[in-house]
Amino acid sequence: MAIVKMKKMHLFGLKKEKYILLDVLQKLGSAEIIDLKEEEELRDFGREISEIDAKLNKLKFAIELVRPFVKEQNILFTGKPKISKQDLSRLISKEDEYFSVIDKLSEYDRKLSQLRGEEAKVKNSIDFLLPWEKMDIPLQELGETRRAKFVAGSIPARVYNDFLTKMSEGELPAEVILINEGKDESYILIAYHRDAEDRVEGILKDFSVNIYDFAEYNGTPAEAAAKLKEKLSEIEKARGKILEEIKNLSEYLMTFKILYDYYVNEKEKRLSYYRAQDTESSFYMQAWVPEPEVEKVEHQLKNASDAIYVDFEDPAEDENFPVLLKNPRIVTPFELVTELYSLPDPRGIDPNIFMAPFYFVFFGMMVSDAGYGLVLSLLSGFAMMKLKISGMARKLVELLFLGGISTFIWGAVFGSWFGDLIKLPPLWLNPLDNPLAVMYLSFALGLIQIYFGIILSAYKNIRNGKMADALMDQGLWLIFLSGLVMFAFPQTAGFAKYIAMAGAIGLVLTQGRTQRSIIKKFTSGLLSLYNVTGYLSDVLSYSRLLALGLATGVIAMVINTMARLVGVNLIGYIFMFAIMAGGHLFNVAVNALGAYVHSSRLQYIEFFSKFYDGGGKPFDPLRVKTNYVDMNE
């Protein structure tokens, strides 16, 4: 099976050599450090981690600040830049210089923030003065004299005429001058004798007149606004100079990235150490190591230090260990389907090698167009060659590549080439002419996969020493279901009833065996036969192989028909090709997504439910992890 056996490593070493040994383990990437600290134990990661976090924050800030000034290559196409051990050591030895550059960048950033604040304030002042630009009175002359007061204010436009009427009553020694009219507000200048101050201010209050304070401005509003706009220009120039200085320092971007990746790994190394137990001068660490890597790990550790003790043992019976899968190269892309569901139990069965052939066949049947298969394989093949991707993204692209091959094969079998665009005879039949045949094939494939799941469940029982359970819980069901299936064929219908009856009697007699009373044993056994409806439902679920395949073909034919309708002249031919290209690409994308989802669904619900135990924890070793560069030797 493809679940890699794990060994538990016990490592004793000198405390002064802890990071030397962890450095070895990190470069090997083959040991997952076990946390020996109790959950409730207070963790004090100490000053080392705080200092590294501070450096990481500074480096992250610098990277984000200078990045807009550098034209970076897309690592999706070029891969991460490689950095050698020698270059890394050289950069680390000069890190004080680089962090002083970051201090300069911090100062520039502080000045930029200050300028942004000033700019916002100036813009607010310009907006404040804008309604008053028509007033030709110097703002410093507003206020009061010994006999009169001059104030500027705004009043809601809807009450402006009422306000004028009120001010004209009683021969008030006052004058109102309209300066500007906005949509909602009227801007006015009011001059009045101080003898009428109380009466005027009462009216201003009644009409909600908002009095403006221009104390910080000189000259007319237009002159004050012009000065503010000049200040805006000065701010923009100052900002330009600072940005130019930052641009000049953008040459350090790659250095910042390298140091960032270096300190991320240093932090991970130190956090790993905090999972160990230590004394004043020594430490004890445990780790999970894949069995094939044991010899290499032991050799490298002993090469790094003579003062260590290292030992390996099998996991205890009740001990859970992380799951690492190792499958043939052709099966690896299908691990994605299982990983998105749940990794297998460490002592369970890896389903990938058994599931892969079914997934390959089902995906192709659901799209089943040779032209679409070519497009899918060519696009995913191009991505595999040109894009520097790894992990789950790599597996997804490879899965689509294999799915494209299956789609091409089934498309040729069913005679579908971009729907009916290219008319080639099918190798077997056209599903539109004989859908029943394809439906029977779908049920047959589903039945085979369900049988396979039951057999795997029996294998699991046998492996665990439960031979009787395998015979009674899986063997009898296989006999009963086989008898029922044989009813569908006239040649075998005669003795099918005997096989089905033998299986049914066996199930009735054995499925209640855990019950204490005879009555309960019988009723439990009898009721277990109801589970046959679940198997029937599972088989019917495979009809989606036919349904999705038909949908792909019909949509492709509709696209072709629509395109041909507009192909009546030169312009029509242009639209025809556009409809075909866009329509078929859309159909490929939608049906490939549907095939991926429904093929996965058949594995999760119909296949895995028969034997699969998930819940495994992925193997997560201490290893070099980088965001920006590839730290090779």
Residue-wise burial string across 510-523, b where 16 or more C-beta atoms lie within 10 A, e elsewhere? bbbeeeeeeeebee
Question: Which positions ≥6 away from 105 have C-beta within 8 Å?
Answer: 61, 62, 65, 66, 246, 249
Look at residues 471, 500, 507 and name the one whose alpha carbon lies nearest to residue 485: 500
Question: Which positions ≥6 away from 86 have C-beta within 8 Å?
Answer: none
H/E stretch holding 326 reads: none
Write down the number of H helices and E strands in the chain. Answer: 22, 12
Give CA–CA dist 219/388, Å, rounded. Answer: 64
Q: Which residue has the tokens 């104390």?
A: 215
pLDDT bin (cut points 50, 70, 90) of residue 43 is low
The two three-digit tokens of residue 592, written as one number? 């490939």
Give CA–CA dist 294/31, Å, rounded. Answer: 9
Angle, to 10 degrees, between the axis of helix 435-463 and the axis of helix 532-541?
130
**Is the pLDDT at 1 greater than 60, yes or no?**
no
CA angle 15, 17, 22 (to 5 degrees): 105
229 phi-psi bin (left φ>0, alpha ψ -120 to 50, beta other): alpha
Give CA–CA dist 495/487, Å, rounded. Answer: 9
Residue 495 phi, psi dihedral angles, 5° rounding: -105, 5
466: helix, coil or strand?
coil
Torsion of CA 175, 179, 180, 184, to 10 degrees: -30
Output 294 or 568, whichever has higher pLDDT. 294
State the pLDDT at residue 316: 93
Compute the mean pLDDT over every residue in the chain, rounded to the nearest whole number: 93
Look at residues 369, 340, 374 and name the one whose alpha carbon lies nearest to residue 618: 340
Helix ranges, 130-171 (H): 160-168
Q: What is the pLDDT of residues 472-499, one digit of tens each?
A: 999 999 999 999 999 989 889 888 999 9
Q: Which amino acid is at 378?
A: L
419 phi-psi bin (left φ>0, alpha ψ -120 to 50, beta other): left
**Is the pLDDT at 170 greater than 80, yes or no?**
no
Give CA–CA dist 583/371, Å, rounded. Answer: 13
- Ordered structural domains, the chain, with CATH: 1-36+276-326 (3.30.70.240), 54-127+222-266 (no CATH), 143-213 (3.30.70.100), 327-610 (no CATH)
Q: What is the pLDDT of residues 516-567, one digit of tens each?
A: 888 999 999 999 999 999 999 999 999 999 999 999 999 999 999 999 999 8
H/E stretch holding 285 reads: strand 282-290
Q: What is the pLDDT of residues 564-587, one digit of tens each?
A: 999 888 899 999 999 999 999 999
Question: Which positions ≥6 away from 139 have C-beta within 8 Å?
Answer: 214, 217, 218, 219, 220, 221, 224
State the pLDDT at residue 38: 67
What is the value of pTM for the model shown?
A: 0.83
Judged on CB neighbours under 10 Å (0-12, 13-18, 19+), 628 is buried
Q: Which residue has the tokens 């439906």?
A: 439
